[in-house]
């Protein structure tokens, strides 16, 4: 599984407008639902918020990987968002979160869901890569960087 199986160029938001955890989740959900019309933004945001109540998906170093499972989709899908100013996402290190990679999997895809989470986590561990994502001028460059970094694995 590669990141490009999950993320398409049109699913990159280079400058999130949201300024809170729930607003980020709504903005990412709304974007994802523009491509996957079987999902409803309100329902997806509720699923994501429920997952956040179990523990924050912000893993530190400015990264969050919100995720959830939903009926009605055939594959794992994703959307990437960047907040230049950062958002308080209850990160493990207490710092603002800037890079968000939302993953949504079918209900019955537990093992693929975990593999996708691990792949995204490994991708975003590289500090130099995170800096490149933060300085990229637009969504096309962000996608190109993600694709290039993913091809290294």
Catalytic residue ranges = 67
CA distance 17 to 124: 22
Distance (Å, rounded) from C-alpha 107 to C-alpha 9? 25
Q: Which two tokens stand for residue 61?
A: 């170093």
The strand pairing partners of 105, in sequence order, are 69
Asked if 70 and 106 count as a contact pair (C-beta separation under 8 A), the reply is yes
96 neighbors 88 (Cβ within 8 angstroms): yes
Half-sphere exposure of 131 (CA within 13 A, CB side): 3
């Amino acid at each position: 599984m590669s990141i490009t199986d999950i993320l398409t160029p049109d699913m990159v938001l280079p400058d999130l407008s949201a300024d809170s955890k729930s607003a980020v989740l709504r903005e990412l959900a709304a974007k994802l639902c523009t491509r996957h019309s079987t999902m409803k933004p309100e329902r997806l945001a509720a699923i994501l918020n429920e997952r956040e109540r179990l523990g924050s998906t912000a893993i530190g170093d400015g990264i969050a990987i919100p995720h959830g499972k939903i009926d009605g989709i055939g594959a794992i899908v994703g959307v990437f968002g960047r907040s230049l100013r950062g958002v308080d996402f209850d990160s493990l290190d207490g710092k603002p979160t800037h890079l968000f990679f939302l993953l949504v999997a079918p209900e019955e895809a537990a093992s693929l869901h975990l593999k996708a989470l691990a792949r995204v986590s490994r991708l975003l561990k590289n500090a130099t890569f995170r800096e490149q994502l933060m300085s990229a001028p637009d969504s096309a460059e962000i996608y190109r960087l993600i694709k290039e970094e993913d091809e290294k694995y």
